[in-house]
Amino acid sequence: MITSQMESAFNEQINAELYSSYLYLAMAAYFQEANLPGFAHWMTIQAQEELFHAMKFYRYLVERGGRVVLEAIAKPPVSWDGPLAVLLATQEHEATVTARINSLMDVAIAQKDHAAVSFLQWFVDEQVEEEDSVQTLVQRLKLIGADGGALYLMDRDLATRVFTPPAQ
C-alpha cells in the first residue's frame, strides 16, 4: 500500500503529465497553423508520449492500492514567437519535468519506498532522453537561422517520427 504522501505526489504528477500532453498538443496546433506539418507531427507524438507517461503513473497508483484523483488541467499557451521559441519553451518545460521527477524520487527515498524508487528510475532515465532530443532540435534550429530551405528540410525530417510505446 502506498503512503498518502506518495499518493498525492503521484496524483499531482498524473496532472503534470496530462498538462505536458496538452501543452505539446497546443504547440502541434500552432505548427499546423504555421504551415510546418513535420514539426506539428513531432509535437503530436510528443503529446502521445506524455499521455503514456500519465497512464504509467495512473496504472502504478492503482497497482499500489492508491486512489487516483484527477484535477483540472491548466490551459496551455496558444501562440509562440516562432519555431525556435516553441522549442526553447519545450526545453524549459522538460527541465521542470526533470525537477519534478527528481523531487518525487526524493520523497520515495525519504519514505524508504523501494518499489516507488524502482518505478521512478524509468522516468529519471526517460528525462535524460527527453531533454537530449529537444536540445538536438534547438541546436539544429539555431544553425538554420533564417534559412527557409533548411527549415523546410528539417520539417520534412520531423514528419518521419514514429510513436513507439515503451514496454509497460
The contact set with ligand FEO (CB under 6 A) reads 17, 20, 50, 53, 94, 97, 130
The cell 503513473 sits on which residue?
Answer: 57
Residue 93 Cβ, how far from ligand FEO at the closest point, in Å?
Answer: 8
Residue 153 Cβ, how far from ligand FEO at the closest point, in Å?
Answer: 26
- Beta carbon nearer to ligand FEO, 41 or 53: 53
- Beta carbon nearer to ligand FEO, 25 or 151: 25
Structural contact between residues 70 and 16, judged by C-beta atoms closer than 8 angstroms:
no
- Beta carbon nearer to ligand FEO, 90 or 113: 90
- Beta carbon nearer to ligand FEO, 4 or 121: 121
CA 1, CA 7: separation in Å to the nearest integer? 10
CA 88, CA 95: separation in Å to the nearest integer? 11
Would you state the cell numbers that stand for residue 12, as one nine-digit string?
A: 499531482
Residue 69 Cβ, how far from ligand FEO at the closest point, in Å?
Answer: 19
Dihedral angle, C-alpha 61, 100, 123, 131, nearest 10 °:
150
Residue 53 Cβ, how far from ligand FEO at the closest point, in Å?
Answer: 4
Residue 67 Cβ, how far from ligand FEO at the closest point, in Å?
Answer: 22
Dihedral angle, C-alpha 125, 126, 131, 134, nearest 10 °:
150
- Beta carbon nearer to ligand FEO, 97 or 107: 97
In angstroms, what CA-CA distances link 55 with 8, 45, 58, 159?
16, 15, 5, 25
